[in-house]
Amino acid sequence: MDELPIGRRVAYWRNRRKMSQQVFADRLGKSKSWVDKVERGVRRLDKFSVVYEIADVLQLDVQLLLGKDPERRPENPSGVDQVEVEEIRAALERYDQISAFFYAPPEPPPLGEMRKAVTHAWLSFQHAKYGALARTLPRLLREAQAADTAYNDGPYAREAAHLLGQVYQISAAVLRKLGEHELSWIAADRSVIVSQRAGDQLLAGVATTRVAMALLSLGRARPALEINVNAANRLAPGTAGNDSSPERLSVYGQLLLQGAMAAARIGDGATVRDLLAGAEEASRGLDGDANYYRTSFGPTNVQLHRAAAAVELGEGRMAVEVHERLDLEGFNALLPERRAQHFLDQARARALIGDIDVASEMLLEGDRLAPSEIRCRPLAHEVLSDVLRRTRGTPSASVAELAEHLSVGV
């Protein structure tokens, strides 16, 4: 991309944004002919004001348009800038499996190294290190795809597919956090397909929750509910010869929890209660909160989802009551991503009941625990904006500082 003429880069990013030349021209206030000449290099872009206007319409950093690396903001080390998301997108657009039909696959990375890299990526996600993870994901995706292609016909095929399925899940999870819901859906969908090749029902079950979460983020709550419940019914412990192992209980329970979140988005309180009750029963088969298949499932996590579902149903008071009854020892043992997400949910709950000061405190608590969960998520920006709008007088210095980090106007 760097060596391309600027007109070609304009065409590249316009196509990425799925804009026709006519639509792009209309948004710029130019003619279609003008756009065509720019993209073919017939007309030069020699005014910075026009370049900046084009970058604004294409919603990208002007440095990318100029063929340079976007300036990273050192004051926000936990943030993720646009070039990192585009690199993840490019990695997801690779189809090495098709190329392998025509050319010998590249030398794959050793599976031992892949296992370590995937474990490290999961730890990065569950500790809410989204910035560091976004920078490593493109390479991890490429290597996992190469391994899956190279080992496809050998004795390690299932293990390679299992690792790639996990990498797609990690990608789906972090992209959803960053508000890249369409990309999240693509990665999650890939994970379901690869997990089936890996021959692991439970991995496919967790992949299903990733698809459902992406759908929910896209406003597709009913399909999200249906696929969670359907997968849970197939994986239910004690039915159709299924065991009642901690792994199965965790994946089954997680499917029910995500189903409850989808039902809450629809406003179906009865289904929310039924699914939460099923998840709570499953959690009793575990020795506390565990992390089988990276689910963090257990009794405490069920309560966090109970509070989150109450927020979605508009029942802020109930969400606060659930929070006040939490087992603090169990809560503090959960991974940072889960706890910070809960603080964000509690900020929303407090805002619902008009307790703006405590809503601010919850956002700050989440930021202290896992800055990326607050600073990188569009949802957190929306909550902070609402809190600031409803704050009487001048916000505290800590809230004002957080707003500055998030570029949210005070």
Same domain for 51 and 87 = no
End-to-end CA distance of the chain: 38
Considering the domain boundaries, does residue 393 fall inside one? no
- 389 is a domain residue: no
Write out the chain's pLDDT in tens, 410 residues: 445 788 888 998 888 777 889 988 888 889 999 999 999 989 988 777 788 788 877 867 677 777 765 554 443 344 576 777 888 888 887 665 544 444 445 567 789 999 999 999 999 999 999 988 988 898 899 889 889 988 888 899 999 999 999 999 999 999 999 889 999 999 999 999 999 999 999 999 999 999 999 999 999 999 999 999 999 999 999 888 899 999 999 999 999 999 999 999 999 999 999 999 999 999 999 998 999 999 999 999 999 999 999 999 999 999 999 999 999 999 999 999 999 999 999 999 999 999 999 999 999 999 999 999 998 888 999 999 999 999 988 889 999 999 988 888 66
Do 298 and 310 contact (CB within 8 A), yes or no?
no
Is the domain of 179 the same as that of 116?
yes
pLDDT digits (tens, 9 = 90+) for 8-66: 889 988 887 778 899 888 888 899 999 999 999 899 887 777 887 888 778 676 777 77
CB-based contacts of 253, cutoff 8 Å, min separation 6: 278, 279, 282, 283, 295, 297, 302
Same domain, 110 and 59: no
Query: Does one domain contain both 101 and 57?
Result: no
pLDDT of residue 70: 52
Is position 144 within any domain? yes
**Pair (103, 185) in one structural domain:** yes
Of the three residues 183, 199, 215, the one that is the final residue of a domain is 199
Claim to verify: residue 90 and residue 190 sit in the same structural domain: yes
Indicate the number of domains in the chain: 2
The two three-digit tokens of residue 345, written as one number: 């949910």
The domain boundary, picked from 150, 180, 199, lies at 199
Query: Is 289 inside a domain boundary?
Result: no
**Same-domain pairing of 186 and 113:** yes
The predicted structure's pLDDT at residue 231:
97
Residue 32 lies in a domain: yes
The answer on 134 and 40 residing in a single domain is no
Q: Is residue 338 part of a domain?
A: no
**Domain around 193:** 81-199
From 163, 162, 188, select the one nearest 175 (Cα to Cα).
Answer: 188
Cβ neighbors of 343 (< 8 A, separation 6 or more) are 362, 363, 365, 366, 369
Q: pLDDT tens across 138-195, in order?
A: 889 988 988 998 888 889 999 999 999 999 999 999 999 988 999 999 999 999 999 9
